[in-house]
Structure 1
Amino acid sequence: MKWKSFILGAAVGFIGGYAVKEILSQKTNVSPEKVLETVKKQFKEHGPISGSWIHMKAESYEKHPMQYHVYKGGISRTNHGENEQFEFIADASSGTILDIRKFSNEL
């Protein structure tokens, strides 16, 4: 066995393993479009949607002692002839909905 070949193979294996580890450890966000699609799917189970929106850039959000990067968005729908509007906050890394708030029509 040639030592040069062995050392070269070990070095390539080590560098390749390290590169894979780094790629897998990078945190990636769910796309905002995917988050909005999921939220709309959940709302459609309770009636038709008349509009929706989402901020395309994730922002910091604190809920209790936890810090998140989140997408904020909104859904509007008609329920029994009344227009209802909701704001949602979803975790950018998993797409999980953290909070939903209904806007009041009263001024």
Structure 2
Amino acid sequence: MGWKRFAVGVGTGVAVTLLAKSQLEKTQGQLSPEKALKMVKRKAQHLGSIDGSWVHMITEKLDQDQLTFDVYRGGITCTDEDGTMSAYEFYVDATTGSILKLEKQED
């Protein structure tokens, strides 16, 4: 009976490994929301000093120019050289980190 338990244990281990690998491959192509936000902040430094930022932790679909993207939506608040504070909303591609949309929010 010892070899049967061993075989069941090995089979279970292989199945769990394959399942974990497939789940990892599904999420491996996406950036974490924190990393995407960090990339946006780095690319938006020309707007002024960044005082605040936020990002949704779950991706959304964005239809733009007849294409659909998985994106993170978020925002940043910047103060320019004149001391004027402005808020911006952004959509960043969850796979590449490219900013697809950056809009200044009106008061």
After TM superposition, the score normalised by the length of structure 1 is 0.70
% identical aligned pairs: 36
- Larger helix share, 1 or 2: 2
- Give unmatched runs, 5+ long, in structure 2: 1-17
Look at both structures and tell me which one has the larger radius of gyration over its CA atoms: 1
The CA distance in 2 between the partners of 1:92 and 1:84, in whole Å, is 25
- Give unmatched runs, 5+ long, in structure 1: 1-18
The runs of at least 4 consecutive aligned structure 1 residues that moved more than 4 Å come to: none
SS in 1 for 2:34: helix
Alignment-mate amino acid for residue 54 of structure 1: V
The CA distance in 2 between the partners of 1:81 and 1:45, in whole Å, is 14
Corresponding residue of 1:103 = 105
Paired residue total: 85
SS in 1 for 2:58: coil
Is 2:40 the counterpart of 1:59? no
Q: Cα deviation per residue 1:23-70 (whole Å; 9 max; x = unaligned)? A: 6x7462111111100111122244211100000000111002101111
Q: What is the aligned-residue RMSD (CA, Å)?
A: 2.1
Alignment-mate amino acid for residue 103 of structure 1: Q
The CA distance in 2 between the partners of 1:98 and 1:84, in whole Å, is 19
